[in-house]
Structure 1
Amino acid sequence: MAVAVGRPSNEELRNLSLSGHVGFDSLPDQLVNKSTSQGFCFNILCVGETGIGKSTLMDTLFNTKFESDPATHNEPGVRLKARSYELQESNVRLKLTIVDTVGFGDQINKDDSYRPIVEYIDAQFEAYLQEELKIRRSLFSYHDSRVHACLYFIA
């Protein structure tokens, strides 16, 4: 047996008259104020060979000089190095994390160069999931380290 479910007709709807200002028009302003007071978090993963210009591009993108150690071309394997910075422009705060792939593409056999990168990305998503699954989670104070953008440099 099928039952028809539909919207009630207009005569069944109850109309309420507002006695004052509700404030729906200020919701966008409230969202902007909340976002600027909390700040933003942005995580970039830079993948590319040593000396291709990853650090230079990051310095140029964010108009600042980030600290970076000069890398050599004789790394035994690929390792990831995450550095976090607090940037501010006007009243907007940005917590920027740049993850650099040290030694990527420097080996003769490059078959397993991608593995540490994939493992890092998976580990960051797993850490966030574990924080989200907690009974007493605190995502407001938790530093979200998931990768938001991956820049792959090709020479």
Structure 2
Amino acid sequence: MEAITDFEVKAADGGAASLDTWRGKVLLIVNTASKCGFTPQYEGLEALHRKYGPQGFEVLAFPCNQFGAQEPGDAEEIANFCSLTYDVTFPVFAKIDVNGPHADPLFERLKADAPGLLGSKAIKWNFTKFLVDREGRTVERYAPATRPEAIAADIEKLL
């Protein structure tokens, strides 16, 4: 089975980005939005990134506008918001769909690997999080309401 790090995604500038760049790292992959009730989680995600980054951990953010049109901006607006509001230093990729006929293949795979409650595949809202181990296997899916700091112990186990 293909590792998560074998996927290619779209970078914020519209070009291709290979997740192979993060091969061998523990990853937390998150669909994000700038105008969501969960948006303050950027602060917790950045704290995890700074704390565990030196040990081989990385947060990867994928903006999504599918839930209440809460990510209306273009790539530059999203990057400015993340940087100026939350001092985000982890990668923020191009805006994508996570559900439906145009869902990004990475998220199709994450949803298949780690279904939600009662086996549901669809992502229910912004800030759904997927934890991936160093071998590129999806380990866990976390609901939008799960605060980043609540994931710290699971990250530590994988580091």
TM-score normalised by L of structure 1 = 0.26
Q: Which has the higher helix share?
A: 2
**Normalising by structure 2, what TM-score?**
0.26
